[in-house]
């Protein structure tokens, strides 16, 4: 599961400045997910101010004071219940961050809210820092997965919203079908993301994971 925060919507004009990656691999000693979180100082010459504001760059970047091409790895979670999440663990160069990404992404399937956006910025970042991008060309778009899940449940229940969904989920699906909204909310599968974590790489990556697990878990059941 992956998310990036960038200085522009166009990778030809902007760069990424924050990356969060959640790797799911049975080879990990604890058998669970491994979370990684980096920030890097980009060249802001062609940055889009709106993109910086959405991602709260000047509020949140712990690499903003560094020279372009340097960055940090941040702590995910807490360490011994004492060191807070987001604490700087290591100061790194962009090249060192790109190497870590290359190793983690080698052969991996990217699952994201907007995978093409994240892939294009990541690939540009890795190429600019001397690394190959070898993740699978097949990607999973979590919003497409949610749409398929909704249509699948409706098909299984004769198109009846109140039979396919209950409570708040039924209201959200009905609003979407009636075009009151053009986005299916995560709450349909019981996932709520706080405002404080929206448009943060780690918060968004965790949301992608939770939505993916909610959908696939309900199918397996």
Domain edges within the chain? 2-140, 142-220
Percent of the chain with pLDDT over 70: 95
Please say if the pLDDT value at position 207 is more than 70.
Answer: yes
CATH numeric code, 2-140: 3.30.420
CA proximity to 18, closest of 69, 53, 55: 55
Please say if the pLDDT value at position 137 is more than 90.
Answer: yes
Write out pLDDT tens, residues 48-77.
Answer: 999 999 999 999 999 999 999 999 999 998
Where residue 116 falls among pLDDT bands split at 50, 70, 90?
very high
Please say if the pLDDT value at position 173 is more than 90.
Answer: yes
Where residue 87 falls among pLDDT bands split at 50, 70, 90?
very high
**If you average pLDDT over residues 132-155, what whole number do you get?**
96
Q: What is the mean pLDDT of the chain?
A: 93
Where residue 31 falls among pLDDT bands split at 50, 70, 90?
low
**Tell me, what's the pLDDT at 24?**
87
């Amino acid at each position: 599961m992956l998310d990036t925060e960038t200085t522009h919507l166009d990778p030809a004009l902007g760069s990424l400045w924050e990356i969060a990656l959640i790797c799911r691999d049975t080879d990990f000693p604890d058998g669970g997910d491994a979370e990684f979180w980096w920030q890097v100082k980009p060249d802001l010459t062609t940055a889009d101010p709106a993109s910086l504001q959405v991602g709260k760059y000047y509020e949140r970047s712990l690499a903003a004071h560094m020279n372009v091409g340097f960055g940090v790895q941040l702590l995910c979670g807490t360490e011994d219940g004492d060191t807070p999440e987001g604490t700087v663990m290591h100061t790194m160069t962009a090249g060192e961050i790109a190497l870590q990404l290359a190793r983690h992404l080698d052969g991996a399937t990217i699952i994201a809210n907007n995978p093409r956006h994240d892939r294009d910025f990541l690939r540009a970042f890795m190429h600019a820092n001397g690394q190959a991008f070898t993740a699978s060309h097949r990607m999973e778009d979590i919003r497409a997965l949610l749409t398929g899940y909704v249509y699948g449940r409706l098909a299984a229940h004769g198109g009846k919203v109140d039979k396919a969904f209950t409570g708040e989920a039924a209201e959200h699906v009905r609003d979407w079908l009636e075009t009151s909204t053009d986005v299916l909310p995560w709450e349909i599968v019981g996932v709520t993301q706080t405002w404080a974590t929206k448009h943060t790489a780690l918060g968004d990556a965790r949301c992608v994971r939770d939505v993916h697990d909610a959908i696939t878990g309900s199918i397996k059941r």
